[in-house]
Protein backbone atom coordinates (compact mmCIF):
# COMPACT_ATOMS: atom_id res chain seq x y z
CA UNK A 1 0.00 0.00 0.00
CA UNK A 2 0.99 3.65 -0.19
CA UNK A 3 0.98 6.17 2.65
CA UNK A 4 0.84 9.95 2.36
CA UNK A 5 4.18 11.48 3.28
CA UNK A 6 4.60 15.24 3.76
CA UNK A 7 7.59 17.31 4.82
CA UNK A 8 6.86 20.55 6.68
CA UNK A 9 9.40 23.22 7.63
CA UNK A 10 8.56 24.51 11.11
CA UNK A 11 9.44 27.96 12.43
CA UNK A 12 9.79 29.55 9.00
CA UNK A 13 7.60 30.86 6.21
CA UNK A 14 10.34 30.02 3.68
CA UNK A 15 10.97 26.45 2.45
CA UNK A 16 14.39 25.05 3.37
CA UNK A 17 14.99 27.57 6.16
CA UNK A 18 13.10 26.06 9.11
CA UNK A 19 13.29 22.61 10.71
CA UNK A 20 11.78 19.87 8.53
CA UNK A 21 9.60 17.17 10.00
CA UNK A 22 8.49 14.15 7.97
CA UNK A 23 4.80 13.49 8.60
CA UNK A 24 3.24 10.13 7.78
CA UNK A 25 -0.45 10.98 7.56
CA UNK A 26 -1.70 7.39 7.14
CA UNK A 27 0.16 5.52 9.87
CA UNK A 28 -2.46 2.96 10.91
CA UNK A 29 -1.10 -0.58 10.76
CA UNK A 30 2.56 0.37 11.17
CA UNK A 31 4.39 -1.34 14.01
CA UNK A 32 6.68 0.57 16.35
CA UNK A 33 9.65 -1.17 14.73
CA UNK A 34 8.49 -0.08 11.27
CA UNK A 35 8.01 3.50 12.44
CA UNK A 36 11.54 3.54 13.84
CA UNK A 37 12.90 2.12 10.58
CA UNK A 38 11.14 4.87 8.60
CA UNK A 39 12.56 7.52 10.96
CA UNK A 40 16.06 6.13 10.43
CA UNK A 41 15.47 6.25 6.68
CA UNK A 42 14.22 9.85 6.55
CA UNK A 43 17.19 10.78 8.76
CA UNK A 44 15.51 14.02 9.84
CA UNK A 45 15.68 15.12 13.46
CA UNK A 46 12.09 13.88 13.84
CA UNK A 47 9.54 11.87 11.87
CA UNK A 48 5.91 11.71 13.03
CA UNK A 49 3.08 9.24 12.54
CA UNK A 50 -0.56 10.33 12.66
CA UNK A 51 -3.01 7.85 14.18
CA UNK A 52 -6.61 7.97 15.44
CA UNK A 53 -6.98 9.34 18.96
CA UNK A 54 -7.56 6.82 21.73
CA UNK A 55 -8.48 9.25 24.54
CA UNK A 56 -11.39 11.63 24.95
CA UNK A 57 -10.77 15.22 23.95
CA UNK A 58 -8.04 14.54 21.39
CA UNK A 59 -8.42 15.09 17.66
CA UNK A 60 -5.62 12.70 16.72
CA UNK A 61 -2.68 10.80 18.15
CA UNK A 62 0.91 11.61 17.19
CA UNK A 63 3.93 9.37 17.66
CA UNK A 64 7.29 11.10 17.34
CA UNK A 65 10.60 9.43 16.45
CA UNK A 66 14.20 10.59 16.08
CA UNK A 67 16.48 8.40 13.95
CA UNK A 68 17.37 6.50 17.14
CA UNK A 69 14.35 6.50 19.49
CA UNK A 70 10.76 7.52 20.22
CA UNK A 71 10.03 10.78 22.06
CA UNK A 72 7.12 11.48 24.38
CA UNK A 73 6.84 15.05 23.06
CA UNK A 74 8.66 17.48 20.78
CA UNK A 75 7.88 20.99 19.63
CA UNK A 76 8.63 21.39 15.94
CA UNK A 77 7.13 17.96 15.10
CA UNK A 78 3.94 18.93 16.95
CA UNK A 79 3.57 22.20 15.04
CA UNK A 80 4.72 20.88 11.65
CA UNK A 81 2.43 17.87 11.91
CA UNK A 82 -0.50 20.14 12.78
CA UNK A 83 0.22 22.11 9.60
CA UNK A 84 0.14 18.92 7.51
CA UNK A 85 -2.99 17.63 9.26
CA UNK A 86 -4.91 20.85 8.65
CA UNK A 87 -3.73 21.48 5.09
CA UNK A 88 -4.34 17.86 4.03
CA UNK A 89 -7.90 18.05 5.37
CA UNK A 90 -7.33 15.21 7.82
CA UNK A 91 -8.68 17.33 10.71
CA UNK A 92 -10.04 20.86 10.93
CA UNK A 93 -9.51 23.17 13.91
CA UNK A 94 -12.48 23.75 16.17
CA UNK A 95 -12.65 27.38 17.22
CA UNK A 96 -9.11 27.74 15.95
CA UNK A 97 -7.72 24.88 18.04
CA UNK A 98 -6.52 21.29 17.74
CA UNK A 99 -5.78 18.84 20.54
CA UNK A 100 -2.93 16.37 20.03
CA UNK A 101 -2.58 13.14 21.96
CA UNK A 102 1.03 12.03 22.49
CA UNK A 103 2.94 10.04 25.07
CA UNK A 104 3.36 13.18 27.21
CA UNK A 105 -0.43 13.69 27.33
CA UNK A 106 -2.74 16.14 25.57
CA UNK A 107 -1.22 19.19 23.88
CA UNK A 108 -3.38 22.13 22.79
CA UNK A 109 -2.45 23.84 19.51
CA UNK A 110 -3.82 27.20 18.36
CA UNK A 111 -4.08 27.55 14.58
CA UNK A 112 -4.08 30.79 12.57
CA UNK A 113 -4.63 29.55 9.03
CA UNK A 114 -4.41 33.03 7.50
CA UNK A 115 -0.77 33.40 8.53
CA UNK A 116 0.06 29.68 8.81
CA UNK A 117 1.04 30.23 12.44
CA UNK A 118 0.79 27.38 14.94
CA UNK A 119 1.23 27.78 18.71
CA UNK A 120 1.42 24.97 21.28
CA UNK A 121 0.75 25.11 24.99
CA UNK A 122 3.93 23.80 26.62
CA UNK A 123 3.53 21.00 29.17
CA UNK A 124 4.36 22.01 32.75
CA UNK A 125 8.10 21.99 33.36
CA UNK A 126 9.96 20.04 36.04
CA UNK A 127 13.40 21.19 37.16
CA UNK A 128 16.46 19.38 38.51
CA UNK A 129 19.54 21.48 39.20
CA UNK A 130 22.57 19.51 38.04
CA UNK A 131 25.91 19.35 39.90
CA UNK A 132 28.59 22.00 39.39
CA UNK A 133 30.84 19.27 38.00
CA UNK A 134 28.30 18.61 35.23
CA UNK A 135 28.32 22.30 34.32
CA UNK A 136 32.11 22.34 34.22
CA UNK A 137 32.12 19.26 32.02
CA UNK A 138 29.54 20.81 29.72
CA UNK A 139 31.58 24.00 29.33
CA UNK A 140 34.57 21.90 28.28
CA UNK A 141 32.54 19.59 26.01
CA UNK A 142 30.96 22.50 24.15
CA UNK A 143 34.03 24.78 24.31
CA UNK A 144 31.75 27.57 25.52
CA UNK A 145 32.09 30.00 28.46
CA UNK A 146 28.95 29.76 30.57
CA UNK A 147 27.02 32.38 32.54
CA UNK A 148 26.46 32.20 36.29
CA UNK A 149 23.07 30.42 36.46
CA UNK A 150 23.06 26.66 37.14
CA UNK A 151 23.07 23.92 34.51
CA UNK A 152 19.55 22.51 34.96
CA UNK A 153 17.46 19.62 33.64
CA UNK A 154 14.16 21.07 32.39
CA UNK A 155 11.59 18.37 31.61
CA UNK A 156 8.79 19.62 29.33
CA UNK A 157 7.76 16.15 28.18
CA UNK A 158 11.38 15.46 27.30
CA UNK A 159 14.31 16.52 29.48
CA UNK A 160 16.64 19.20 28.14
CA UNK A 161 19.76 20.32 29.93
CA UNK A 162 19.68 24.13 29.78
CA UNK A 163 22.32 26.73 30.55
CA UNK A 164 23.21 30.22 29.34
CA UNK A 165 26.36 31.00 27.36
CA UNK A 166 28.11 34.29 28.14
CA UNK A 167 27.61 35.84 24.69
CA UNK A 168 25.96 35.21 21.35
CA UNK A 169 29.40 35.25 19.73
CA UNK A 170 30.63 32.49 22.05
CA UNK A 171 27.48 30.45 21.46
CA UNK A 172 27.81 30.65 17.68
CA UNK A 173 31.51 29.75 17.87
CA UNK A 174 30.92 26.62 19.98
CA UNK A 175 32.20 23.39 18.40
CA UNK A 176 30.96 20.47 20.53
CA UNK A 177 32.90 17.28 21.18
CA UNK A 178 30.33 14.58 20.23
CA UNK A 179 31.68 11.90 22.58
CA UNK A 180 31.90 14.20 25.60
CA UNK A 181 28.48 15.71 24.87
CA UNK A 182 26.84 12.29 24.56
CA UNK A 183 28.38 11.33 27.92
CA UNK A 184 26.84 14.42 29.54
CA UNK A 185 23.41 13.47 28.16
CA UNK A 186 23.73 9.88 29.45
CA UNK A 187 25.18 10.75 32.85
CA UNK A 188 22.44 13.32 33.57
CA UNK A 189 19.42 11.51 32.02
CA UNK A 190 18.96 14.19 29.34
CA UNK A 191 17.44 13.92 25.89
CA UNK A 192 19.80 16.71 24.85
CA UNK A 193 21.26 20.10 25.70
CA UNK A 194 19.92 23.53 24.72
CA UNK A 195 22.29 26.47 25.07
CA UNK A 196 21.16 30.08 24.78
CA UNK A 197 22.58 33.59 24.79
CA UNK A 198 20.90 36.99 25.04
CA UNK A 199 20.85 39.89 22.60
CA UNK A 200 20.64 43.49 23.91
CA UNK A 201 17.10 43.87 22.51
CA UNK A 202 15.73 41.09 24.73
CA UNK A 203 15.64 38.36 22.08
CA UNK A 204 17.84 35.27 22.31
CA UNK A 205 19.83 32.83 20.17
CA UNK A 206 19.50 29.08 20.86
CA UNK A 207 21.39 25.96 19.83
CA UNK A 208 20.08 22.46 20.66
CA UNK A 209 21.98 19.15 20.54
CA UNK A 210 20.85 15.54 21.09
CA UNK A 211 23.82 13.33 20.25
CA UNK A 212 22.47 10.14 21.81
CA UNK A 213 19.28 10.40 19.75
CA UNK A 214 21.18 10.74 16.49
CA UNK A 215 20.67 14.52 16.23
CA UNK A 216 24.08 16.24 16.46
CA UNK A 217 22.41 19.66 16.14
CA UNK A 218 18.67 20.24 15.83
CA UNK A 219 18.14 23.07 13.31
CA UNK A 220 15.21 24.74 15.13
CA UNK A 221 13.92 23.10 18.28
CA UNK A 222 10.49 23.87 19.75
CA UNK A 223 10.79 21.83 22.94
CA UNK A 224 14.36 23.05 23.44
CA UNK A 225 13.21 26.66 23.16
CA UNK A 226 10.30 25.90 25.47
CA UNK A 227 12.69 24.43 28.03
CA UNK A 228 14.85 27.56 27.74
CA UNK A 229 11.77 29.77 28.33
CA UNK A 230 10.82 27.72 31.40
CA UNK A 231 14.43 27.93 32.67
CA UNK A 232 14.56 31.70 32.17
CA UNK A 233 11.32 32.15 34.10
CA UNK A 234 12.45 29.74 36.83
CA UNK A 235 15.59 31.83 37.41
CA UNK A 236 13.91 35.22 37.10
CA UNK A 237 15.12 36.39 33.69
CA UNK A 238 11.49 36.87 32.59
CA UNK A 239 8.37 37.49 34.71
CA UNK A 240 5.98 34.78 35.83
CA UNK A 241 3.21 36.05 33.52
CA UNK A 242 2.39 38.30 30.56
CA UNK A 243 5.51 38.43 28.43
CA UNK A 244 6.72 37.64 24.92
CA UNK A 245 10.15 37.37 23.40
CA UNK A 246 11.66 36.17 20.11
CA UNK A 247 14.23 33.43 19.60
CA UNK A 248 16.39 32.67 16.60
CA UNK A 249 18.01 29.32 15.82
CA UNK A 250 19.64 27.32 13.05
CA UNK A 251 22.18 29.59 11.39
CA UNK A 252 25.08 27.33 12.40
CA UNK A 253 23.57 24.57 10.23
CA UNK A 254 22.39 26.72 7.33
CA UNK A 255 18.84 27.44 8.56
CA UNK A 256 17.19 30.51 10.08
CA UNK A 257 14.25 29.68 12.31
CA UNK A 258 12.17 32.21 14.23
CA UNK A 259 10.30 31.18 17.37
CA UNK A 260 7.90 33.18 19.52
CA UNK A 261 7.87 32.36 23.25
CA UNK A 262 5.23 33.77 25.58
CA UNK A 263 3.38 33.43 28.87
CA UNK A 264 -0.25 34.42 29.39
CA UNK A 265 -1.92 35.97 32.42
CA UNK A 266 -2.27 32.52 34.00
CA UNK A 267 1.39 31.69 33.54
CA UNK A 268 0.88 29.15 30.75
CA UNK A 269 3.91 29.00 28.47
CA UNK A 270 3.53 28.92 24.68
CA UNK A 271 5.84 28.10 21.78
CA UNK A 272 4.85 29.16 18.28
CA UNK A 273 5.85 30.06 14.77
CA UNK A 274 5.00 29.79 11.11
CA UNK A 275 5.09 26.54 9.15
CA UNK A 276 5.38 25.83 5.43
CA UNK A 277 4.92 22.61 3.43
CA UNK A 278 8.04 21.78 1.39
CA UNK A 279 7.18 18.34 -0.03
CA UNK A 280 4.23 16.02 -0.62
CA UNK A 281 4.50 12.43 -1.75
CA UNK A 282 3.82 8.79 -0.99
CA UNK A 283 5.71 6.04 0.76
CA UNK A 284 5.41 2.69 -1.00
CA UNK A 285 5.06 0.61 2.18
Q: Is 46 a catalytic residue?
A: yes
Q: Tell me the DSSP string of 79-98.
A: HHHHHHHHHTTS---BTTEE
Cα 148 from chain centre? 25
Q: d(Cα 74, Cα 156) in Å, to the nearest integer?
A: 9
| E strands present in 115-251 | 117-121, 126-129, 152-155, 159-164, 192-198, 204-210, 215-218, 243-249
Query: Which residue out of 33, 46, 87, 205 is catalytically annotated?
Result: 46
Contact status, residue 187 vs residue 194, Cβ threshold 8 Å: no
Beta bridge partners of 154: 127, 160
Q: d(Cα 175, Cα 134) in Å, to the nearest integer?
A: 18
What are the residue numbers of the active site?
46
Amino acid sequence: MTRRYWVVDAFSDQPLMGNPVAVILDAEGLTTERMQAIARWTNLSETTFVLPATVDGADYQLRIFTPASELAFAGHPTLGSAKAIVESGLHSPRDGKLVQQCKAGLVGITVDQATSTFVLALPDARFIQLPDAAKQGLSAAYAAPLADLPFTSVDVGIAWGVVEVESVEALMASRPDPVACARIETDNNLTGVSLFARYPDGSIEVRSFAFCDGVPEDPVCGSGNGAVAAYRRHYGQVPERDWTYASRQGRCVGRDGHIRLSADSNGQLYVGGQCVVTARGELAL
